[in-house]
Chain A
Amino acid sequence: MSEPVAVPVPQINPNDEHAVVARWHIEKGDRVRTGQTLVTLETTKTTFDVDAPQDGFAFFEHEPNAELAVGAPVVWIAATADPFEIPSHLSRSLDTSRPAPDERFTRKALKLMKQHGLAAADFPGEGRIDADAVETAVAGRSPQPTPAFTDAEPLELAPSKITEIQTLSRVYEQVVPSTVAVALMCERMEQRARRLEAEHGPVSFLEICIYEAARLLPHWPEFNAFYAAGSAWKHRSVAIGFAVNLGKGLRVPVVRDTARLSLLDVARTVRDLSLRYMRDGLTIDDLTGGTFTVTDLSAEGVVHFVPVLNDRQSAILGLTAERSGARARDLVLTFDHRLSDGMRAARFLAALRDRLEGAEG
C-alpha cells in the first residue's frame, strides 16, 4: 500500500445526498484495524458507522457537524503514520457524474431568474428555490433580506435539527396546512379499550389509534396522499409512522402495511420499533416510506397542539391529554388543504372518534 486510500461517505438512503459527521471514534493518525469503527455519520433518517476497509493509519480533516457529500472521502488510510497532505481536489467528491450537491435552484428556477435578471444572491436562506419562488419574487413580493441581527447571536442547532429544518422548509414551501380537532369522550373510549384488552391483551391508546386510523385511511385517500410535480398522488398502501422522542432524538418509525395488520400485530410492531429506538437499532427501512403519521403528546400533558406535516404526506394525527375535569381529549388533524378541506377532515376525525368510542365496528 503506497498511496493513502480514501474511504468515501456511503450512500445509505437514495434520497440523501449528504451526511453529517456525528462522532469520531478515532484520533487523527491512529493505527486502525480492518472492520474497526472510524466515524458515525448521520443522515436525515438514521445514523450509521463507517468501518475501516483495511489496516493502516487513519487521517481526516472534518470535524463533527461537518456536512459531506455522498461519495466524498471522509477518512484516508495510509500505510505509515507520517502525516500527509489530503489532496484538496479530491476532498469534495469522488463522483463527478452526480449533479453538484449545492444546487439550490431548480433548472426551471434558474431559467426564470435569467429571464428576469435575478441572481442567486436575491434568494437568501435555506431550502430549494423552485419556479414558484422565483415567480413570487418577480411579482414584487421581495425576497427576505439577509438578516443582520445586532442584538442576537447564532443559536447552535444539532445537525439533525438542521437537516430537519431543510426538509420541513421544503415541505412547507408548498403545503397549505390546516388543522381541525374533535373531542373524544374518554369514558366510552376506555370502555372500548377494556373490551379490546379483554379480547387481545394489553394495548395502548396509541396502538389502538394507529390500528383504527389504518382501517379508515383506505376510504379517505386524500389523507394518505401527497402533492408533487403539479399533481396529487395517493399512496398505494397505508404505512403509519409514529413519532417518538424519548431522549434519543425525534424519530418516526413506520408500521408497514398497517391496514392489513390485526390490532395485536400493530401493537407488537409498535413495541418492537420502540424497543429498537431505545437500543439505537432502527434501520433506514424502519424510518422511511411512511404515508401517514400519528404523534402522541398525551404523556406530556399537552391538551392542544398543531402537528407538523411530514414530507410526502398529506395528514398527521395528534393525540392529546385529557383536559382536567372534562373527561374528554382532542383528536387533532393537520392536513394539506390542497388535497382536502376542513369539512372532510372533520368527518374523518368524527369517523375515527366513533371507532375509538366503539360506536362502530
Chain B
Amino acid sequence: MSEGQNPFLRAYLVRTVEQQLLHLFAAGRLSGTTHTCIGQEMSAVALAAALDRQTDIVVSNHRCHGHYLAWTDDPDGLLAEVMGKATGVCGGLGGSQHLSAKGFFSNGIQGGIVPVAAGLAFSQKLAGNEGIVAVCIGDGTLGEGAVYETFNMAAKWNLPLLMVLENNRYAQSTAQSETLAGDICARPAAFGIKTLHCDTWQHEDLAMRLREAVASVRRDCRPLFVCVDTYRLAAHSKGDDDRDPEEIALFARRDPLNAFIALEEEEQHAELAAIRSRVTRAVELAEHAPVLNIEARSIPAVARGPLAWSRADLEAGTQLAAINRALGHWLADDPRVLLLGEDVRSPYGGAFKVTRGLSDTYPNRVINTPISEAGIVGIANGLALGGRRPVVEIMFGDFLGLCFDQLLNHAAKFRGMYNGRVSSAIVVRTPMGGGRGYGPTHSQNLEKHFSGIPGLHVVVLHGRTRIGALYAALRDNVEPTIIIENKLLYRERGDAPLPPGYEAFETSELFPTTMLRASAVPDLTIVAFGRMSMVAERVVAELLADEVNVDIVLPLRVSPFDVRPVLESVVRTGKLVVVEEGAAHFDLASEVIAAVAEAYRGKNRLQVRRVAAKPRPIPSALALELEVLPSAAALRAACLELYDE
C-alpha cells in the first residue's frame, strides 16, 4: 500500500510513524534515542518526489526517518529497525540513525556523511548512468569542517551532488544566532556552487524548486545547494526542548501538514485512518519479530585451527618499487581501482614517489586531491559504497588524525551497522616512522591508535613483506584496510640476505605471518612490527655469536591480530620480546602479550619484555630522535635480560 503522489499523505505517514515511536519510547518499549522530523516532513517528501528511484541515491543524517520513509515507503522496515528486530532494514544493528536500503544511507555523525555522499556521486559520475546523489544535512552541521572540504572537491570535480540543508534554526538546543556567522548560502556560493532557497511552508514552491535542482544537477553534472527553511515542532530527540513554547505554537499553526489534517473531508479521513492502521500493524509485526542471531551474523576476526607454514619466497627489489608495481598491476587488472591523494600524479608521484609514473598510464584514475584528509577518505568511503576500489595515499601517517572519524565512524562501521549489505573496501596507504629527523608530527607510528577498531583492518609492512602477494590479497578484501608503510623501509630490499643460518617461513593466510628461524632450538621469541623487523634481524645476527638463538615473528596484519603464529614459537621458548616503533604503553605489545598469556600452555613460566619508543613527542634533533626511538641496543639488552633469567 502506498500513499501515492499526494505529498500530504506521504508526510502524514512520516509523522504517524514518528509519533508512534515517541509513544513507544514514552511507554518504555524502545531503548536508545531517536530524532524526529515532525514539522519538517514536507522537505523529505518533496525531495524524494523529485528524484529517480532507479538511479539516484539519498544520503541522510541522524534525523533520517522522513528521508527514509519518503524514499522507501517502508514503515515496516523502519519500525522493526528502531524496535531492534531482525526484520528491521538493518536487522536492528543500525537503529534509528544508521539506515541503509536500496539507494539510501544514513549515519549519526554530523558532517562526516557529506564527503561520503560526494564519493557516491563520484561513483555515479564514473558509472555514467546520469544518477545523482542527494545529501541532507541540518543547519547545525554547518559547523563541521568536512562539509567545506566537500564543497570544494564536489565543485572542483563537478560531482552530481545535491546538498539539501534543512534549516530548522536550532542545533539541538542552541539557537542558530548563537553559533552561525555570516550567511548560509554564501558559504557554498564561495566555492562556485549554485544555491537555491525555499521553505516547507510553501510546499508547492518547495517541490518545484527541488525538481529544478535535481534536473540541474543531473543535466550539468555539477553540485547544487538548496537551503530549505523549516521548523522542528518536536524536541531534538525526546525531552530536550528549551525553546519558547509560543514560538513552537506559532510554527505549529503555520505547519502545512497540520492544516491538511484539520481539513474536514470524509475521503481524507479514511485515507489518514488507513495510514494510521498501517503503522499500527507495522508495530505489531515488529513486536512479534525475533531479535537477530548476532553470532550467526558476526564477522569472523581471525581464523582458528592449525597453521600451515611454508618457505617464504622473498620478493626481489626495494619495497618502494614493489608497492609501485603492485599498484600498477591492480590499476591494470581492475578498472574499479582509483588512486587518490595529495601530489600523487606525475611528475611528482607522491611525497615518497610510491605512485611515480602511474598517472601517465592511468590519467583519469590517479587523482590529485586538495589537502583535505577527512574529505579524501570520506570520498573514498563513498566510492567504495558505490562499488569502486579506492586506494588513498595519506602523505604522512601522522595526518591520519585528520581522517580518524572517516575511518572509525564510517569505513569501519558501514558493513557491521548496515548488517553486511554493503562493502566498504577502501585501502588507505600511509608512511609512518621516524629516523629521518622530521620531528614530532611527521615521524610517529600511530598504528596502535587504529588497531582494535572492529571492522577496520590494519596492515603494517615489515621488511620481509611480500608486497605483490599482499596487494593480490587486498583484491578480494571487503573490509576497509589501513596499510602502514615505513619511510625507512622504502629503500630496503625484501630479498636482502637473512641473518646467517636463518630461513624465512610464512603462514598460508591471505595476510601471512612471517617467521625467521634458524635450525637450532630457539631460546627466545621476538615479535617485531614494521621497521623493527630490520632491527630484530640485526640483533639476532649479533646474538648468534653469543650462542643465543632467536625466532623472529613478523605479523603483517596487526588488527585483527592472530596470535597463533606467535604461540607456535613461544611454546618452545617461554620468552617473548615484542618490539615496535610506536610509543610505549597501551601499545601493540600489550595485545600480543595478553593474547599469548591467555593461550600459553608451555612448560616454562612465560616471561615477556616490551621494547618501544619512549612515550614522548618525537624530537626533531636526529640525535635526540634516535634516543627516543627503540634501538638495536635496547632490543639486544631486553633479549639478553630475558635470556639470563
Contact = CB atoms under 8 A, between A and B. Distances in A.
Interface string B539-577: 000111111110000000000000000000000000000
Contacts of B518: 229
B548 A229 contact: no
B573 to A, nearest CB: 14
A97 B545 CA distance: 16
Contact of A229 (B544, B631, B633, B644): B544
Contacts of A110: 644
Given A111-B644, A229-B520, A106 B545 contact: yes
B298 interface: no
Interface residues of B, number: 20
A196 interface: no
Given A107-B643, A228-B501, A229-B501, A130 B631 contact: no
A268 interface: no
A334 to B, nearest CB: 24
Given A228-B500, A228-B501, A107 B640 contact: yes
Given A228-B501, A229-B500, A230-B519, A109 B547 contact: yes
Interface string A91-127: 0000001010000001111110000000000000000
Interface in B617-645: 631-633, 640, 643-644
Nearest to A114: B644
Nearest to A110: B644
B501 A233 contact: yes
Contacts of B543: 107
Interface string B23-49: 000000000000000000000000000
Given A107-B640, A107-B643, A107-B644, A231 B519 contact: yes
A131 B549 CA distance: 13
Given A229-B520, A230-B520, A108 B501 contact: no
Nearest to A103: B546
Secondary structure call for the A interface: mixed
B501 to A, nearest CB: 5
Given A228-B500, A229-B518, A108 B633 contact: no
A106 B501 CA distance: 18
For the complex of A and B, list the 6 residue pairs with the smallest distance between their C-beta atoms, beginning with the closest: A108-B547, A107-B546, A106-B547, A106-B546, A229-B501, A97-B633
Contacts of B500: 228-229, 233
A131 B520 CA distance: 14
Nearest to B639: A107
B305 to A, nearest CB: 32
Given A97-B632, A106-B547, A107-B640, 20 more contacts: A97-B631, A106-B548, A107-B543, A107-B546, A107-B547, A107-B548, A107-B644, A108-B547, A108-B548, A111-B643, A111-B644, A130-B547, A131-B547, A228-B500, A229-B544, A229-B549, A230-B519, A231-B519, A231-B520, A233-B501
A233 B644 CA distance: 29
A228 B544 CA distance: 10
B585 to A, nearest CB: 24
A230 B501 CA distance: 9
29 contacts: A97-B631, A97-B632, A97-B633, A99-B542, A106-B545, A106-B546, A106-B547, A107-B546, A107-B548, A107-B640, A107-B643, A107-B644, A108-B546, A108-B547, A108-B548, A109-B547, A111-B643, A111-B644, A228-B500, A228-B501, A229-B501, A229-B518, A229-B519, A229-B544, A229-B549, A230-B519, A230-B520, A231-B501, A233-B500
A106 B520 CA distance: 16
A106 B546 CA distance: 4
B352 to A, nearest CB: 29
Nearest to B542: A99
Contacts of A231: 501, 519-520
A312 to B, nearest CB: 10
Interface of B: 500-501, 518-520, 523, 542-549, 631-633, 640, 643-644
Nearest to B640: A107
A200 B547 CA distance: 50
The interface size bin for chain A is: 10 to 19
Nearest to B636: A99
A107 B631 CA distance: 20
Contacts of B549: 229
Nearest to B544: A229
Contacts of A111: 643-644
A328 B644 CA distance: 59
Contacts of A109: 547
Contacts of B523: 108
A71 to B, nearest CB: 14
B238 to A, nearest CB: 64
A49 B179 CA distance: 75
B204 to A, nearest CB: 80
Contacts of B544: 229
B312 to A, nearest CB: 19
Interface string A149-177: 00000000000000000000000000000
A110 B545 CA distance: 13
A311 to B, nearest CB: 13
Contacts of A99: 542
Nearest to A96: B633
Nearest to B518: A229
B480 to A, nearest CB: 41
Nearest to B548: A107
A69 to B, nearest CB: 16
Nearest to A97: B633
A194 to B, nearest CB: 45
A229 B549 CA distance: 9
A92 B187 CA distance: 70
Nearest to A230: B520
A130 B633 CA distance: 22
Contacts of A131: 547
Contacts of A130: 547
Nearest to B500: A229
A107 to B, nearest CB: 4
Contacts of B542: 99
Contacts of B548: 106-108
Nearest to A128: B545
Contacts of B501: 228-229, 231, 233
A231 B501 CA distance: 8
A110 B546 CA distance: 9
Interface in A196-242: 228-231, 233
A131 B543 CA distance: 14
A109 B545 CA distance: 11
Nearest to B519: A231
A164 B277 CA distance: 102
Nearest to B547: A108
A233 B502 CA distance: 11
Contacts of A233: 500-501
B424 to A, nearest CB: 46
A287 B514 CA distance: 37
Nearest to B645: A111
Contacts of A228: 500-501
A208 to B, nearest CB: 34
A350 to B, nearest CB: 33
A135 to B, nearest CB: 11
Contacts of B519: 229-231
A111 B632 CA distance: 22
Nearest to B501: A229
Contacts of B644: 107, 110-111
A6 B386 CA distance: 66
A131 B631 CA distance: 28
A101 to B, nearest CB: 13
B516 to A, nearest CB: 14
Interface string A177-207: 0000000000000000000000000000000
A230 B519 CA distance: 8
A110 B542 CA distance: 16
Nearest to A107: B546
B139 to A, nearest CB: 61
A23 B231 CA distance: 96
B262 to A, nearest CB: 86
